[in-house]
Amino acid sequence: MGEPLLDVICIGRSSVDLYGGQVGGRLEDMSGFSKYIGGSPTNISIGCARLGLNSALITRVGDEHMGRFIRETLDGEGVDTSHVTTDPDRLTALVILGIRDSEQFPLIFYRENCADMAVGEEDIDPDFIASAKAVLVTGTHFSTDRVAGASFAAMKLARKFGRKVAFDIDYRPNLWALGGHADGESRFAESARVTAHLQTVLPYCDLIVGTEEEWHIAGGTTDTISALQAARRLTDATIVCKRGPLGCVVFEGDIQSWDSGVASPVREIEVFNVLGAGDGFMAGFLSGWLRDEAPANCALYANICGALAVSRHGCAPSYPSQIELRHMIETGSEEFRLRKDSKLEQIHWATTRRRRYDRLLAFAFDHRSQFTELAETYGRTEADIDHFKRIALDVAAGTAGLRDGVGLLVDDRLGRSALHAASDHDMWIGRPIEQSGVFPLAFEEGPDLGSRLAEWPANHCVKVLAPIRTDDPADLIAYHESELLRLADACRQTGHEFLFEIITGNRGKTAAPEQVLELMARFYDLGVAPDWWKLEPIEDASFWT
């Protein structure tokens, strides 16, 4: 048996989380939802991948749109999906969540006979388990005989092959049939049955992580130290107790008091959303533990990852990249509300983008005024323009099948059928937002950019052609800067990538390549950080170097 190819295999829940978009209200009053990937081990696998670990997931998803969303998201994050099984008979689990206030986070699980609860021993491949340094199991996947059989099989194989076992207690009483459908938010309910069951898991583990309430159920008492001591009698594992605003404590030996462990405190920050924060914490801890770092380092990484998750909307999307974690360790943030730290948020956005290209070749046929003039000249209609653009899509799609890094720029007004069909192909899609042939800059989507961009699919990159120069009149410069700032902010709020095209050659003036770098620097100084720049062809080689 050679060296492990993977760092960790996570096993268990996978779901689609529908997060209420309105903060401070009841689920009954939510008018819109954001769709994210979810499920504790699924979240952890993504958190680990973002921190540079080679992670994999064993789960089941439905043979439908939500199942494909989970698989595509995992692939995009770099998680090994070779053992994500598509279940033809069951639906992907759904969760509806909300942020009521800093203490209430209403949650409804839609998991009856869901795909991931059909994970069984037949899904556990010994060779695959042997290929990883560790397996991670979570509490919910011990709640029925079938999923418990799979989790125990994975743990026993890991022990057989000399691999590590990590266990996130992940106690949701509702998922152990303790409480009704409306009790998904509950984090603790006493149960001798659950305690006895969880205690059969502990002896197999090398690392166990839980909140104080989770240790209460694992230890069978609501006195936290006594619960930890009860667990210690059953396992030699590293024990981590998460204490919320008090940070965490790591115990590697006997437990007499809190002072028996390595304490890692945290500073006070805003608690915006606790949902999924524990999974981010676990990913952070694993990023140190699987690299044999000291407990204090593991705890530091975990606390930072948990703090960032607490500060943002969503679960897995809120987890940091390795670059972001390093920034927090070396520089930190003075913000109480971490999501309001603009530099930190830009690092997060730039290092967790959906897809990266080393090179992108895009076929641009988003022209509108030019096509309209041609149609008028030759007696053709807008339907003819749309048909032509659909042909252009077919050409681009044929190229996309031959190489990676192919895209297109197409509009919604004259090329709607091509735009809508483009998502059927593995291509980058840029979509213009400026009115064609209009000066000064004006947007097709009207004054409320955020609401209109919310109607755009997430894979559409917002492209703006900006007719700007450094020698424009001061009032025109101020107008364009204000509008472009507004657009950049709207793109970040809706999660769309942003392409900024600078055109200095406009209104009869020749292109001014010497202005381009100054314009780019100006917008960076204003806080506009596009995902893409589209620049005029500049022949001077020194410009590009």
Q: What is the pLDDT of residue 334?
A: 94
Q: What is the pLDDT of residue 402?
A: 67
* Token pair in block for residue 253: 């030996």
Residues (pLDDT < 70) of the chain are 1, 402
Cα–Cα dist 70/81, whole Å: 10
Q: For the segment 80-105, what is each residue's pLDDT rounded down to a tens digit?
A: 999 999 999 999 999 999 999 888 99
Tell me if 12 sits within 8 A of 138, measured CB to CB: yes
Residue 440: is the preceding peptide bond cis (ω within 30°)? yes
Between the CA of residue 394 and those of 87, 329, 407, what are the distances in Å? 33, 48, 12
Q: What does the pLDDT look like over 404-445, one tens digit per residue?
A: 889 999 999 999 999 999 999 989 999 999 999 999 999 997
CA–CA separation, 37 vs 18, rounded Å? 9
Supply 286's token pair: 């694993």
In order of start, what are the domains of the chain with their CATH numbers? 6-351 (3.40.1190.20), 361-544 (3.20.20.70)
CA distance 443 to 482: 13
Could you tell me which of 7, 286, 11, 8 has the C-alpha nearest to residue 148?
Answer: 11
Gap between the terminal Cα atoms of the chain = 48
Tokens of 499: 């392409």
Side chain identity, residue 173? P
Q: DSSP readout, 485-531?
A: HHHHHHHHHHT--EEEEE--S-TTPPP-HHHHHHHHHHHHHHT---S
